[in-house]
Every structure is written in C-alpha cells, then in structure tokens.
Structure 1
Amino acid sequence: MKMKYLILTLVYCLLTLNYGKAAPKNKTKDETKVAFITVSFDKQLSNDSVDLTYRDNNWGIGSAELSMPLNTISAKIGEPIKIIFEKQQAFLYANLITRSGKVLFLSSIVEPSDNIEIKIYNERVIFSGRGKEKLQFKNKIEEDFESWRKTQTNLSFFKEGKSNIVKKALKEFKPKIKKHIFQIIKADYLFDANFDFMYVNYEDFIRKSESKLGMSDKVLNESSGYLNYILKAIMMRKLEPQTAVEYINKNFHDILRDRLLTLYFINKSIKNNQDVALISDVLKTIKTDYCIDALKNFKANSSPKSPAYDFALRDTSGNIVRQSDFKGKIVLLDFFFTGCGWCQLLNEKMTGIYQLFKNNPNIIFVSISIDRDQKMWKNSIKNHKYTHPGSIDLYTNDEGSKSKIIEHYNIKSYPHTILIDKDGRIVSASPPEPHTPKEENYLIELINSCL
C-alpha cells in the first residue's frame, strides 16, 4: 500500500512540475514568413546603402526572367533589410548590390526565417547568422575559381576546372544546407546555361536539358537555373512558335510547363496575329495563376491593336513629350543606349527608311534613350550614330531600364522598335529591322499600310 501511495505521489509531483513550466513559444506567422539581411562595411564605406532586388512567385534573376517585375528594397548600411514572403513562398532568388556598385551576392536563395549578417572588411566578405551557408557556398565557388584561374596558363581546361570546384563545394556544403534547398542550388549549378552555352555542342546542350541529370521534378520545377537552361535550349532550335509550344507540352508538365510557355512568349515577343492567337490557345491550357496573369498582361500590352503606352518623357530642351501628342500620326519608336553596337548598326540600316518618309508629315520617328547619364545621352545624339537628324530624341529621365515605358513594353534587349498607328494603337511591338532588302520592304509595307 505504501509503495502504491509513493508512486501516485511521484506521478502527481511530476505532473504538477510539468504544468508549472512555461510552454514553448510558438513562432507567429509573421516570424516564419520574414527574413532579415544586414550589411556592415568598414569606416570608408559606412555612408553607402544597399539595394536588394527580387521577383515574386519564385521567378529568378536569370536572363530569361528579366521580363518579370522586379521588387527593390533599399536600406542604409547597418540597417536590416526586411523581406516579407507570400503565404506559400518557400524561398526567393535575390541580388544584393551597394549603391556604389559593389556586388555582395547575385541570384542567391533567401528563405523565411533567415537572419543573415554580411560584414565587409578590407574587401573581404564575411557571412554570419541563420541561413549564411547558402551565401558562403556561392562565395567559396567564386573565390576558389578566381584563385584557380590566376594559376592557369592554359585555359583549355576552363570548364573542367570550374566543374571540379563546384563539385568540391557541393560536397562540403551538402550537410550544412536544408536538403530540398540544397538540391535546388545543385540544379542551378548543374544547369548553368551561360556556362554550357560557351563550351558545349548545341546538340549536347539540348540532350542535357532533356535528361534532367537525375533531379526530381519538384526540384526542377523550382530551379531558376534549369528553367533558363531549358528555355535557351528551345530558343537555340529556332522552332516555329506552334512547334515550340508542342515541344514544351510534350516534354514538360505542370508548373514547369506553365513557366516555360509563359517565358517563351515573353522572351520571343509578339510578331503577328498568329502569335496572338497561339497565346490565346496557350492561356486555355495553363493552370498556374501567376503565369496566366503574366501572359495576359504581356498580351494586352504588346498585341496588335493594343493601346500604346502614353509616356511622358523629356526632349533635349527639357520639354515633356507624350505619346498622345502624336495622335493622328504614325509613330516608330526606337529604343537604344549609348555604347550599343547593334543600335548603331540599326540606325545605319534605317537610313533608307528615313529618306523615304522624311518629307511625310504623317510619320514621326522617335528615339528613346535608356542612358542613366543625361550628358552622355546628349553627346551621343549630336553625332547621329544612334539617331537621325529628323527624329524626336527623348530620354527616360534617369530611370534607365526601370522606366515605366520599358517595363510596359517588356523590353529586354536593344535596339528595340515599336510601330504605332494614327489612333495610338500598336501595329507591331517588334516590327522587322531592315538588315536585308526583304526586311526593309516588309517594314515599308507595314508603314504604308497605316497611312
């Protein structure tokens, strides 16, 4: 009986003791969906600031994804950057660059609950805090590769050297990074499109894109590196749009298929009404909401007969010029930047077009520069290497490629031209450039059809 009493007493005491303990604090939803990054420099750079850029819906920073809207968070040195994630967002790709131009990281993964500190002393970068391993991994590859490159006299082993460095870093950091995130990072490096594009035979490049290298579909669906790799492989084939859509539908599924179809059209640009009809058909098959929204927005802004963007930009005298000022006129917009060789070439090839229509009051040629330096822009148009004497020369008000007109028309490369009719509607968001007599005649016919 005594023994039974002692056991009951002991159980009671244990329960009482446990009850009296404070319950562990659960993380709030806000805490689990927020990340912080803080940057500190040595005294010489303490007045600098940083810009963190990223895209929603796990769009990366790869070349194929440049058309997706970019978010920017700015902070002074020493102040934490707070990143708020969407409900279902497990991570995002981000760039972090100082206003003075120092790159701290590019296309790196940031997760909810990361709390990373970046310290730079005498040009040495030190990462600490929760989530630091992802940045340490990329930094190690860059440092080791740079050290290796300096010791090489024969760069014929360039690819092999980089591959060995990546493999070594993957092995070292595998135990330090969450399994799924590690697999995504691994996929990003295995499918380094820009790297392979320089050294691999086209057919090998395409075969590799289809093999998946043993990676799971879930990982590949989320890897920006794989997405860019696949899209570049498809673009290299120079397929007709209908054939490209069939190829994507046959070889890829679910979210990856939707993302590929979306980026394929956005990177290709709308050439004609057949492209518009094909996009309409594709929109019926896509299931991912943010892909549907992106493709609908692109179609609305770039399709023939869509209203032209009513910009408000300054000319060389500082006067505001608007698209609506040209109502009743045909307008050919030409976007360029100083130092762009292809932009100079297009201007040369456009000479015949300029001469043919220079006395026609119903046609206006407008050049729009994305230069960030106004003096550079004004100097570049004086010698008419980028524009011709009869054009109206405009400037994107120091906003460069972040100008609203650039974002509206989804312009990713230069030169870029857009033809607008007398009613202020798009005739073509990507008219032919007159590099050959055939293309020149086609552009002339297109302009004449608007008169």
Structure 2
Amino acid sequence: MKNLTILALLVTYSLVAKSKNFKNSDPDTGPRYYIDIIGTIGDQAVSPFTEIQISAHSIYSSINLLTGKKEGSVKIDQRNFRIRQEIPSEISYITFEYSIQGRSYGPVYLPTNFFKVSSRQKIHCSFFRDSLVFSGRDAEVFNLQTKLFLAGSINKINIGYDDPNYLNEIKKMVDLNFQEQSAVLLSHTGKVNESWRDYFFNYCLGTKKNRMISAVLSGIKSNNYSIAKEFYQYLIHDDQHEYPEELHTSALLMDYLYKMEKFKFEYLKTTINTINKNGAADFFRMIRRKYNGKIRAHITVLALVDLPKTYVDTYDEAHKAPMVKKESPYFSILSNLLQNNSPKKLAYQFELTDSSGREFKMRDFQGKVVVLDFWFVGCIPCKLLSKEMGPIIDSFKKRNVAFITINVDQNKISWIKALKSLEYSHVGSVDLNTGDLGVRHPIIAHYNVTTYPRLIVVDKMGNLISAEPTRPISSNPESATALIKLIQANL
C-alpha cells in the first residue's frame, strides 16, 4: 500500500479515548455533533502505543483557515480503541495524523486529502504504517476517498518556470491525474449513491483546477509574468460556465474560484507580488457582483482569511459591506473572523512566558500602545522586518509603547539562541513564546496567523487598532512612516 496522509476538517475538540473506558456522551451535556471512531492498530509486529491527532474545522480550505480550529491528540495503549470526536456541524471534514512508537505515519501531507463525514457516523478503521483501511457500514465511501487521494497524487515537474513548455506540462500532469481519479470513480459506479458520486466528481474537478492555478501562481511568485499572461487567456477560455449554488460544499472548487478571481483581479492591476496594498473594497464589490448566496459567502470567508496578508484595508471594507446573511452556514465563521481582527475589538488576552519563565499577560500592558510581532526561527522575512523595526522601536523609547515579539517555535533552545543573535528582536522589546503548543496556541487561531511575520497593533485600553497594519519594508520608506503615524495617533 502507498503512504497516505489523512487530512480532516472539523471545528471543536473533544476526545474521549481508551477502549475499555469509552462512554457515550450525556445527551443533555454532550456534543451536539460528533463522530465515533472505532479503531484497530493493524501492524501486528508493532507494539500498540500510538498517538492519534485529530484536527477540526467547519470549513476546509488549502488557504489555511484557523479561526475556530481545535486540535487534540489521544494516546492509545491498546490495540483496539474508540474515540468520540466532536465536530462543528452536521456535515464536516476530518483529518488524522498518527504515530506508532513515536514514528509518524502518513507522511504525504497534501492539502487535498480530507474526509467528508456526517454527525453520529461510526467510522471503523485500521491504522497501518503505510495506510489506513476502513470497514463496516460506510467502508465503501471512505475507501473510495483514499483511492482518489492516491490517484490524485501529483508528480513533481522537472522543468523550471522559465521553460516555454512549463504551462503545457502542468496541464498534462493535472489532466492525467484527473483521468486516473475519474477511472477510479467510474469503477465504483453503483457502489455509492448519486449524492456521493457528485461530491466525488466535484472533488476530482476541484483538485485539477486548484492544482493548475496553484502551480501557475508559484511561477508568478518568481516574477514570471509570461506565465501569468498565458494562464489568464487559459482562464478566460476555461471558465465560461455558471457554478450552481450546491457546489459551495466543494472545498477545492471554492478554493479554485477564489484564487482564480484574485488572480484575475491582481493580474489586471499588476500588483500580484506586493504587500501593504489597498483595494480590498474593489475585490469585495467584484465578488458581490459575480456571485450569489452560499458561493458568495464561501468566497468571502476565504477572502477574509487570505487578503489581510497583503491588503491593509480588508477588515475595514468587510465591515462596510457585509455579504453574508445571518441564516447562512458561513455567518458564524465570518463573524468570528471579523470579531477577532477588526478595529476597536478587544485584543486576545494572552498569558505567555519569556525566556526566563516570567509570565506576561496582555492586561499587564494596559496604558500602553502594544505592537505584537509574530515570528519563527529561520523566517527570512521576519529577520528583514526586525531590521526595519529597529529605528521605529528606538523612536518610541521612554514613551508608552510596548513592542512584544511572539515566537511560535516549540524548541526553546533554538528560540533563546535566536534571541541572543538579535536578528529577530531588539534590546528593550518583550520576547515571548507560545510554549509547547507552538503554532497550535489559541492566539494563533484567534488572529488566524498563517503567514509570518505578522504585526498587530493594540491601543492603551487593550482594543485592536489594526490586525493588518502597514508592514515596514526597505523598498518603501513610507511604509515605516505609516506605522509610526499609526502608533503616534493612539498615544
């Protein structure tokens, strides 16, 4: 069997494991939505000491939506076990990561490998070193998903972005994967119902389209705009049809639609590889004009996750022009994103420690403007930002401004060594770490920090000034001035 990683999306976290002690949740106090995993360690030669991690999201996206994400792990000390996992909604998406005797399995971490599940579903599965095999009532559906994962495994292209055949090679590769997946799906005709068949077809189509645009965008990041021009014509030719609203549940197709619209929007403005941009309002207006209902809502959520990485006006514009109705299944996640990142909202009340073990709380800095800087060891852009922040920090000495770095590395020794180098921080800054949780610390999900560095500015009362302030860069001296003015205006 081929190596397999299983990604899974859901929102909430509640693990109850250990086969002999498993109990059903109290109907009055237990989770509203959940699945039961009845598992077996399949490798007889391996001692059954296994750790299983389950991630949970309400919306799946390769764009990396963290808001609402809950993660948990359970150690299994028997060959047979049972886990109850709370899920966010009636229909959710799940991923597993597991290790046997300390060694992780399922090493192919692809953003397309996720399972669709429904509440109260019982999932019977055996964990092997090179695969995960399902049995029981829903075995056909789950094993078909694993076969589609394997058939869709993409091969690396051995030519560069500058090669004139690059785009054609990408097309050939994704077409071949799509044909292989379609053949697998065809072989299961009559074995799954029409609803599942349609879902799987859209999964395959979404895999093809999403990989196509992702590969081309990688080329554009290398400033190869000839690819952008050629692919733009390809998009115009390929997407002349309407997308029915029921496709809003097809995660990869929705990712594709968002990336496609953003690509066309930015390509026409020639601002693909820049940061500190304004223009989110124009993008939201375009989405409002082109899409309706749940597809519009889904794309709006993706935009709120992705646009703040480069657009400094995203949250302001989203507040001005809400595009999701309260009855929409996307309203809750959208509200959380806005609540956690919009100006005048209460900042996350963290409790973190510095390198000496001293604990700091967000409320300790009340009365000061706070600038948070998220980073990790080895992050080149983090080093560049630190260099640009030096003069800014010096300019606010002896004033009511606290500069706080928040490192997400779990390796404390590496973090402290990096601090001593002063490549990521400065004398006078407060340097904190997320501890053993690393990137899984709640503050990371709260602000949906998925790219580094990330700056956040908080006022003297502990409320957000900006979760997307202008980031100082050497090529644009005005960017540092903009951040300085933002801080000064709130002193």
Q: TM-score range by the shorter chain?
A: 0.7 to 0.9
* Residue 282 to residue 73, structure 1, CA distance change in 2 (3 Å): farther
- The answer to whether the Cα contact below 8 Å between 1:209 and 1:229 also exists between their aligned partners in 2 is no
User: Are 1:115 and 2:123 matched, yes or no?
Assistant: yes
User: Are 1:312 and 2:351 matched, yes or no?
Assistant: yes
**Which residue matches 2:363?**
324
* Residue 186 to residue 330, structure 1, CA distance change in 2 (3 Å): same
**Which residue matches 1:226?**
253
* Residue 277 to residue 166, structure 1, CA distance change in 2 (3 Å): closer
**How far is 1:326 from its partner?**
1.2
SS of the residue corresponding to residue 439 of structure 1 reads helix
**Which residue matches 1:372?**
410
Query: What are the equivalent positions in structure 2 for 1:70-219 lying under 5 Å apart?
Result: 70-72=70-72, 74=74, 76=76, 78-83=80-85, 88-89=90-91, 92-99=92-99, 100-103=103-106, 107-112=113-118, 113=121, 115-120=123-128, 123-125=129-131, 127-129=133-135, 130=139, 131-142=142-153, 157=169, 159-176=171-188, 177=192, 178-193=196-211, 194-198=214-218, 201-202=227-228, 204=231, 208=235, 211=238, 217-218=244-245
Q: What percentage of aligned pairs have identical amino acids?
A: 20
**How far is 1:446 from its partner?**
1.3
- The answer to whether the Cα contact below 8 Å between 2:98 and 2:106 also exists between their aligned partners in 1 is yes
**Which residue matches 1:65?**
65
Query: What are the equivalent positions in structure 2 for 1:214-293 lying under 5 Å apart?
Result: 217-218=244-245, 220-236=247-263, 237-238=265-266, 240-269=279-308, 278-283=317-322, 286-293=325-332
SS of the residue corresponding to residue 114 of structure 2 reads strand
SS of the residue corresponding to residue 353 of structure 1 reads helix
* Residue 93 to residue 210, structure 1, CA distance change in 2 (3 Å): farther
CA distance in 2 between counterparts of 1:441 and 1:367 reads 20
Which is further off, 347-356 or 164-173?
164-173
- The answer to whether the Cα contact below 8 Å between 2:95 and 2:115 also exists between their aligned partners in 1 is no
Which is further off, 312-321 or 402-411?
402-411
* Residue 340 to residue 405, structure 1, CA distance change in 2 (3 Å): same
SS of the residue corresponding to residue 179 of structure 1 reads helix
CA distance in 2 between counterparts of 1:272 and 1:215 reads 28
CA distance in 2 between counterparts of 1:55 and 1:285 reads 19
Match for 1:185: what amino acid?
A: Y
- The answer to whether the Cα contact below 8 Å between 1:108 and 1:135 also exists between their aligned partners in 2 is no
SS of the residue corresponding to residue 63 of structure 1 reads coil
- The answer to whether the Cα contact below 8 Å between 1:313 and 1:320 also exists between their aligned partners in 2 is yes
- The answer to whether the Cα contact below 8 Å between 1:347 and 1:385 also exists between their aligned partners in 2 is yes
CA distance in 1 between counterparts of 2:456 and 2:295 reads 31
**How far is 1:183 from its partner?**
2.0
TM-score (norm 2): 0.73
- The answer to whether the Cα contact below 8 Å between 2:64 and 2:450 also exists between their aligned partners in 1 is no
CA distance in 2 between counterparts of 1:126 and 1:406 reads 30
**Which residue matches 2:480?**
440
SS of the residue corresponding to residue 221 of structure 1 reads helix
Q: Work out which of the residue numbers 42, 51, 74 in structure 2 matches 1:49.
A: 51
SS of the residue corresponding to residue 259 of structure 2 reads helix
SS of the residue corresponding to residue 97 of structure 2 reads strand
**How far is 1:51 from its partner?**
1.1
- The answer to whether the Cα contact below 8 Å between 1:61 and 1:93 also exists between their aligned partners in 2 is no
Match for 1:38: what amino acid?
A: G
SS of the residue corresponding to residue 134 of structure 1 reads helix
- The answer to whether the Cα contact below 8 Å between 1:209 and 1:230 also exists between their aligned partners in 2 is no
SS of the residue corresponding to residue 308 of structure 1 reads coil
* Residue 446 to residue 379, structure 1, CA distance change in 2 (3 Å): same
Q: Deviations over 1:152-201 (max 9, x none)?
A: xx996465234313312321323425312222322331222433534694
CA distance in 1 between counterparts of 2:286 and 2:114 reads 30
CA distance in 2 between counterparts of 1:280 and 1:266 reads 14
CA distance in 2 between counterparts of 1:196 and 1:45 reads 45
**Which residue matches 1:350?**
389
CA distance in 1 between counterparts of 2:381 and 2:320 reads 34
- The answer to whether the Cα contact below 8 Å between 1:270 and 1:302 also exists between their aligned partners in 2 is no
For the aligned residues, what is the CA RMSD? 3.4
Q: For structure 2, list consecutive stretches of 5 or more residues without a partner in the other structure.
A: 1-30, 221-226, 270-278
Q: For structure 1, list consecutive stretches of 5 or more residues without a partner in the other structure.
A: 1-29
* Residue 427 to residue 86, structure 1, CA distance change in 2 (3 Å): closer
- The answer to whether the Cα contact below 8 Å between 1:241 and 1:275 also exists between their aligned partners in 2 is yes
* Residue 124 to residue 410, structure 1, CA distance change in 2 (3 Å): closer
**How far is 1:361 from its partner?**
3.8
- The answer to whether the Cα contact below 8 Å between 2:53 and 2:74 also exists between their aligned partners in 1 is yes
CA distance in 1 between counterparts of 2:66 and 2:89 reads 24
- The answer to whether the Cα contact below 8 Å between 1:73 and 1:81 also exists between their aligned partners in 2 is no
**Which residue matches 2:19?**
none
SS of the residue corresponding to residue 131 of structure 2 reads strand
Larger Rg: 1
Q: Work out which of the residue numbers 392, 405, 426 in structure 2 matches 1:388.
A: 426
SS of the residue corresponding to residue 286 of structure 1 reads coil
CA distance in 2 between counterparts of 1:279 and 1:208 reads 27
Which is further off, 44-53 or 386-395?
44-53
Q: Deviations over 1:228-260 (max 9, x none)?
A: 122223333347222111211122221110111
SS of the residue corresponding to residue 443 of structure 1 reads helix
Greater helix content = 1
Match for 1:62: what amino acid?
A: S
Number of residues of Structure 1 aligned to a counterpart in Structure 2: 408
